[in-house]
Chains A and B, each alone.
Chain A
Amino acid sequence: MVSARRLFKHFEELVAVDHVDFDIVRGESFGFLGPNGAGKTSTMRMIACMSPKSGGELTVLGMDPETRGPDIRARIGLVPQEDSLDLQLTVLDNLMIYGRYFDLPKKVIGERAASLLEFAQLTERAHDTVEPLSGGMKRRLTIARALISEPDLLILDEPTTGLDPQARHLLWDRLYRLKSRGVTLIITTHYMDEAEQLCDRLVVMDKGKIAASGSPASLIERYSTREVLELRFPPDAGPSRNALAGIAERVELLPDRVLLYTESGDRALAEVGARGITPLTWLVRRSTLEDVFLSLTGRTLID
């Protein structure tokens, strides 16, 4: 569906996307995971033919965005990071207007709008104006709007940023349904749990480059251990790296906590205790993409 080779984008001095390669195939859910400023949105905007590339090659749906932008966009649904809904119009009007940009007949839009409102759980709000809706509802409407043209490819830029946990889970559920219907999804996110939940395959981006790529499970397997022991200490009272040497495969000393990467968190905890180190609290958990990112870049995803 999408293929990029040495794709490059810069804004004057700033290099946003630094020669990246990736391929997205039909029916998969593909993620761009990385912190803010990693180049995810720039990449997404180039795929959506809203932003010209500065160099390299990019093919979307078998076409060149430079020459076939409108044709590509006709088959893409875009859910931008910032909502661009018409706040004074009703929920239904927003769908009608957007469908009209694609030059769909009114009757077709009306039929699709009805089922999309159902899908987005907004049927009861169809005739309300958009302005007072909650953030989660607006996001779901934006997704419904992006689906009005029945796109082959749905691009979601940070779909759940700013939503409360309940709204996020509802949205994930809806995206899951789309995925099971065979819609190809491209998702950018800086939430590792979102990437783990939704993406079949993903690339980890940092500073415009792709740091790693693969399925969430394979990335965790390759770049992290099975378990992580998290220890918390009072400020400035944590142990030194030397004091922890040999307990785990890898140790990360973060400002607020210490992470020990190991096959068995319980065994590591026992060893910590045996060395006379007493943390305030501890937690044994499985490795996540967050740990993959930390291992790749030495930094956390969300500062």
Chain B
Amino acid sequence: MTAELETWGMEEALGARMPPTLRVLRYHLYTYMRTWRSSLTTSFLAPVLYLAAMGVGLGSLINRHVGTVGGVKYLDFVAPGLLASSAMQVAASDSMYPVMAAIKWIRTYYAMLATPLRVLDVLLGHFAWVTARLVLTAVTYLGVMAAFGTVRSPLAVLAVPAAILTGLGFSSVISAFAASQENDQGFATISRMGLIPLFLLSTTFFPLAQLPGWMHPVAYATPLYHGVDLCRMLVLGNVDWVSAGWDLAYLVALCALGAWLARRLFERRLVI
């Protein structure tokens, strides 16, 4: 079955001439069309399951024995944390094996680079695709959260770009890492030593105050903490604009650093 890209409306919107970055994005959409059904189910089911298990299941226990967490029900507390965490996970998984496959296994990037496309186009197209995935993830998550009744402020809409920014921060750094690797062994290490500890300890599941004092600077130094903090303030509507500013600055800086690194390492890897 030939995937019909025109359903995405890109052809009509842009006419015949399409910027190189979007040609790469179109490739990713094209391949995604083949698997979107299973993937869509997962991206819808994951938030439902997480919110049900963590928020409702674990939450009822916590609410009964501890009372509120950070001034709200546990479900309300944990939901925005899960939003930011899943943005991290989606972005990371799209930036590890797929990048390595496009360099080493399927060699898609080399096929692209034999055409008028440049390394920068390939890289930006990849980030555009990750962004598209993050939009889908964040909007779905927020929708499910609304259905669970955890959205407490119209500012929650801004949690979507906040989650996307969080994801892109991880995507850029991990893509750069993937482009520097000879095999996929490093990815398991990233997951074990990086993503899972971040997921568990970056205040997704409990407030920073629960960590011992010496851990606070450590948590504050990690990117997911800022993503969670930002999403949580926006969804709950209790925004401290100073710390939100710091969160934003941190995430933007991470994206910039990651993009710069990725550009360098993609060039070094693909143009020899």
- Given A50-B271, A103-B23, A105-B16: A93 and B30 interface contact (C-beta under 8 Å): yes
Bound Cα distance from A90 to B106, whole angstroms:
14
Does A134 sit within 8 A of B, measured CB to CB?
Answer: no
B31: which of A11, A73, A85, A89 is its contact (CB, 8 Å)?
Answer: A89
Give B52-80 as 1s and 0s: 1 = Cβ < 8 Å from A's Cβ atoms.
00000000000000000000000000000
- Given A93-B2, A103-B17, A103-B18: A73 and B272 interface contact (C-beta under 8 Å): no
Instruction: Please tell me the size bucket of the interface on A.
Output: 35 or more
- Asked whether B116 lies within 8 Å of A103 as measured between CB atoms, the reply is yes
- Asked whether B114 lies within 8 Å of A73 as measured between CB atoms, the reply is yes
Does A102 sit within 8 A of B, measured CB to CB?
Answer: yes
Give B87-124 as 1s and 0s: 1 = Cβ < 8 Å from A's Cβ atoms.
00000000000000000001110111111111000000
- Asked whether A101 lies within 8 Å of B2 as measured between CB atoms, the reply is no
- Asked whether A80 lies within 8 Å of B34 as measured between CB atoms, the reply is no
- Asked whether B2 lies within 8 Å of A96 as measured between CB atoms, the reply is yes
In the bound complex, residues from chain A placing their C-beta under 8 Å from that of B111 are 84-86, 98, 101
In the bound complex, residues from chain A placing their C-beta under 8 Å from that of B17 are 103
Give B2-35 as 1s and 0s: 1 = Cβ < 8 Å from A's Cβ atoms.
1100100001000011100001101100110010
- Asked whether B116 lies within 8 Å of A86 as measured between CB atoms, the reply is no
Does A221 sit within 8 A of B, measured CB to CB?
Answer: no
Q: Which of A133-161 contact B (CB under 8 A)?
A: 146, 149
Summarize B's interface: helix, strand, loop or mixed: loop
- Asked whether A86 lies within 8 Å of B108 as measured between CB atoms, the reply is yes
In the bound complex, residues from chain B placing their C-beta under 8 Å from that of A212 are none
Bound Cα distance from A51 to B240, whole angstroms:
51
Give A97-115 as 1s and 0s: 1 = Cβ < 8 Å from B's Cβ atoms.
1101111011000000000
A131 nearest CB across to chain B (Å): 11
Bound Cα distance from A43 to B271, whole angstroms:
14
Give A64-90 as 1s and 0s: 1 = Cβ < 8 Å from B's Cβ atoms.
000001110110101010111111111
Nearest to A9 among chain B residues (CB) is: B272
In the bound complex, residues from chain B placing their C-beta under 8 Å from that of A105 are 16
Bound Cα distance from A93 to B2, whole angstroms:
6
- Asked whether A51 lies within 8 Å of B272 as measured between CB atoms, the reply is yes
Nearest to B15 among chain A residues (CB) is: A105
- Asked whether B118 lies within 8 Å of A69 as measured between CB atoms, the reply is yes
Bound Cα distance from A13 to B31, whole angstroms:
40
- Asked whether B116 lies within 8 Å of A11 as measured between CB atoms, the reply is no
- Asked whether A84 lies within 8 Å of B106 as measured between CB atoms, the reply is yes
Does A127 sit within 8 A of B, measured CB to CB?
Answer: yes
A152 nearest CB across to chain B (Å): 14
14 contacts between A and B (CB under 8 A): A50-B110, A51-B271, A69-B118, A71-B116, A80-B110, A80-B114, A83-B107, A84-B108, A85-B106, A86-B111, A93-B30, A101-B27, A101-B115, A103-B16
Q: Which residues of chain B have a CB within 8 Å of any CB of chain A?
A: 1-3, 6, 11, 16-18, 23-24, 26-27, 30-31, 34, 106-108, 110-118, 271-272
Q: Which residues of chain A have a CB within 8 Å of any CB of chain B?
A: 11, 48, 50-52, 69-71, 73-74, 76, 78, 80, 82-90, 92-93, 96-98, 100-103, 105-106, 127, 146, 149
Known contacts A98-B115, A101-B116; can you find 14 more A-B pairs with CB under 8 A?
Answer: A50-B110, A50-B113, A70-B116, A73-B114, A73-B116, A80-B110, A80-B114, A84-B106, A84-B107, A84-B108, A87-B106, A97-B27, A101-B24, A146-B114
